[in-house]
Amino acid sequence: MALSTLGFVQYIGPTIMLLLSVFLFKESVSPVLLIGFALIWTALVVYAAASVRGTKLAKAR
């Protein structure tokens, strides 16, 4: 497994814990925490898209 993939997968654990705490255990979550998670996941999507694009460009050459 590539290190970039492993790094991406390590974000899943805390996200699952957040979702479980909110939906299963009915915990309250501050808006600041939600904004932080949204920013982190937005950055991960941008990083993944750039990585996929770079891989496609490298294969085209």
Tokens of 48: 């993944």
pTM equals: 0.71
Q: Dump pLDDT digits (tens) for 6-54.
A: 887 888 888 999 999 999 999 999 999 999 999 999 998 998 899 889 9
Question: b vs e for 20-33, b when ≥16 Cβ sit within 10 Å of the residue's Cβ?
Answer: eeeeeeeeeeeeee
